[in-house]
Chains A and B, each alone.
Chain A
């Protein structure tokens, strides 16, 4: 079953605002990934994090691998209308012998121009 709690489930913000979303788990992860999915398309990888404490940016996006290895957050600065979509966190559990990626339930972002 799903072991990643992603919040918030949805956000409706004004263009230009900053956005923050996060994923938490009771389990330890070795890798954290953040994806964005546009309607009717497949998820696109935004950022990959491999070490506890790692902070990585991709344009207006910044993500961090939590020190405890049980959480990660994604920030979007100065949001624009094309940021609309569903953002998923995902990770590989440290005890995962089966190579399976665990996904959060997604955060639906809506931006008002």
Chain B
């Protein structure tokens, strides 16, 4: 089945540690996105990528990094510089820019 796969479902981070969240899509979509969702809140854009080897900062990029080496993969690293990383992280993709985005099932990150 085509879709967006995020892993792991739950992740725990120790203080000072970097962690990487995986996002893979087999929809052949050009564009991919990372969002952060805090309890009771809407979605805020962290980073997005319209094509391979290119990505742009969203509204809350500080403390995060991404790469887009392959069309189907857009991993997000939460660095130790992100002081409040506890949140629900959602990855999305769209066939082209300005097309509806489709979401994965999210990764919930917590601090130990």
Contacts and interface: CB of A to CB of B under 8 A. Distances in A.
Contacts of A92: 98
B104 interface: yes
Contact of B56 (A42, A48, A98): A98
Contact of A99 (B97, B100, B105): B97
B42 A100 contact: no
Which of A44, A45, A100 counts the most chain B CB atoms within 10 A? A100
B48 A41 contact: no
By size class, the interface of chain B is 20 to 34
Interface string B79-104: 00000000000101000011011111
Give the top 9 A-B pairs by smallest Cβ distance, nearest first.
Answer: A42-B103, A99-B97, A103-B42, A105-B42, A103-B43, A42-B105, A48-B100, A43-B103, A42-B106
Contacts, number: 51
A63 interface: no
B58 interface: yes
Contact of A45 (B43, B58, B100, B104): B100
Contacts of A40: 105-106, 108
B53 interface: no
B66 interface: no
B31 A104 contact: no
Nearest to B9: A40
A106 B100 CA distance: 17
B45 interface: yes
